[in-house]
């Protein structure tokens, strides 16, 4: 049995998609960890009968999050819209077992402050002809870990940031659970 911690700061649509993808695979179990008590991801977890926890930024910085991960016998950590930098103690304890999804083709549009609509607005403002997703390992720097997978979508001159977001979300839902599954299988 592999235990995966899904870390999210907001709505949790990717979290729900991942849990539903693995629903009939008994060798995988999940719990949700958010840094925000009012994040909608908690409602999604409750609806899916998945445990969820809240640990604020200070709790991540003081080791409380690492303690929770260890207590839950966590094998892998998946960031799905998690907006805090992962602290060094967690990076050290889960080296090579933390992945993130980014809503752009890294290395472009990555780094601190580049998340959600900020990314899509920058893509449109710079008149990019493509965007996409990047799934990558997590290291001590925002969005600089080794790239595992990328998928692209075409951006037309008429696309708004909302149009780009919709195209990118479709790629996230299609690919993220499959890549997670491949990584887990490789680590067995």
Q: What long-range pairs does 27-30 form, CB within 8 A, spacing at least 24?
A: 27/1, 27/2, 28/1, 28/2, 28/4, 28/184, 29/1, 29/2, 29/3, 29/4, 30/3, 30/4, 30/5, 30/6
pLDDT of residue 25: 81
Residue 142 pLDDT:
92
Q: Which of 102, 136, 137, 169 is catalytic?
A: 102
User: Which pLDDT tens digit goes with each residue over 45-60?
Assistant: 999 999 999 999 999 9
Domains, in order of start, for the chain = 1-95 (3.40.50.170), 103-188 (3.40.50.170)
Task: Tell me whether residue 102 is one of the annotated catalytic residues.
Answer: yes
List of the chain residues with pLDDT < 50: none
pLDDT in tens, 83-102: 999 999 999 999 999 999 99
Whole-model pTM?
A: 0.95
């Amino acid at each position: 049995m592999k235990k995966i911690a899904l870390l999210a700061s907001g709505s949790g649509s990717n979290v729900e998609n991942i849990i539903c993808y693995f629903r009939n695979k008994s060798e995988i179990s999940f719990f949700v960890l958010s840094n925000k008590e009012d994040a909608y991801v908690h409602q999604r977890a409750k609806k899916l009968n998945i445990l969820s926890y809240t640990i604020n930024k200070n709790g991540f910085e003081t080791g409380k999050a690492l303690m929770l991960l260890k207590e839950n016998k966590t094998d892998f950590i998946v960031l799905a819209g998690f907006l805090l930098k992962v602290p060094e103690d967690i990076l050290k304890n889960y080296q090579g077992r933390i992945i993130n999804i980014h809503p752009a083709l890294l290395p472009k549009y990555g780094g601190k402050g580049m998340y959600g609509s900020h990314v899509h607005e920058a893509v449109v403002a710079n008149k990019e002809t493509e965007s996409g997703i990047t799934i990558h390992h997590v290291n001590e720097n925002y969005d600089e870990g080794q790239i595992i997978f990328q998928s692209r979508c075409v951006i037309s001159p008429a696309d708004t940031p909302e149009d780009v977001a919709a195209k990118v979300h479709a790629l996230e839902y299609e690919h993220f659970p499959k890549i997670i599954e491949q990584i887990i299988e490789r680590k067995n």
